[in-house]
């Protein structure tokens, strides 16, 4: 009798432990990590490949990337940078008729943009 009760408890123990652990939040996939900072990595790439068209009094598509001089400037409008990252990642920018980013530049730019939080 005692042996049967002990077996039942041992069989139920894993269910109790699993039930207790089900309250925990499931693991989330890690966010992409930005390589470098805006000022020393992304800003030079942006100046080299984007500012020719996306700066000045009449920037292409109304997107003036030259106004983002610091990380704080970027954080005010991460939506624009997340979109820029998608455009570069999808090979839409820079245009084929313009100089292209190296693989390392493209990766640094897109990783940075993907790691930015969504603007509200």
Proportion of the chain above pLDDT 90, given as a percent:
62
Q: Does the structure show a pLDDT above 60 at 78?
A: yes
pLDDT at position 25 = 53
Q: Which of 23-37, 53-67, 80-94 has the lowest mean pLDDT?
A: 23-37
62: alpha, beta or left, given left = phi > 0 and alpha = psi -120 to 50? left
29-62 pLDDT, tens digit per residue, is: 444 444 458 999 999 999 999 999 999 999 999 9
Higher pLDDT: 110 or 3? It is 110
pLDDT at position 116 = 92
* Confidence class for position 118, pLDDT limits 50, 70, 90: confident
Q: Does the structure show a pLDDT above 80 at 18?
A: no
Task: Write out the chain in H/E/C secondary structure.
Answer: CHHHHHHHHHHHHHHHHHHHHCCCCCCCCCCCCCCCCHHHHHHHHHHHHCCCCCCCCCCHHHCCHHHCCCHHHHHCCHHHHHHHHHHHHCCCCCCCCCCCCCHHHHHHHHHHHHHCCCCC
pLDDT at position 11 = 59
């Amino acid at each position: 009798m005692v042996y049967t009760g002990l077996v039942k408890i041992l069989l139920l123990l894993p269910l109790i432990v699993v039930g207790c652990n089900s309250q925990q939040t499931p693991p989330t996939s890690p966010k992409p990590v930005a390589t470098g900072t805006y000022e020393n990595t992304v800003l030079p790439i942006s100046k080299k490949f984007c500012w020719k068209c996306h700066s000045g009094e009449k920037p292409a598509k109304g997107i003036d990337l030259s106004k983002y001089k610091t990380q704080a400037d970027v954080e005010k409008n991460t939506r624009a940078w997340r979109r820029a990252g998608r455009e570069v990642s999808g090979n839409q920018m820079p245009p084929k008729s313009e100089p292209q980013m190296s693989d390392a530049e493209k990766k640094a730019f897109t990783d940075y943009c993907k790691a930015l939080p969504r603007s509200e």
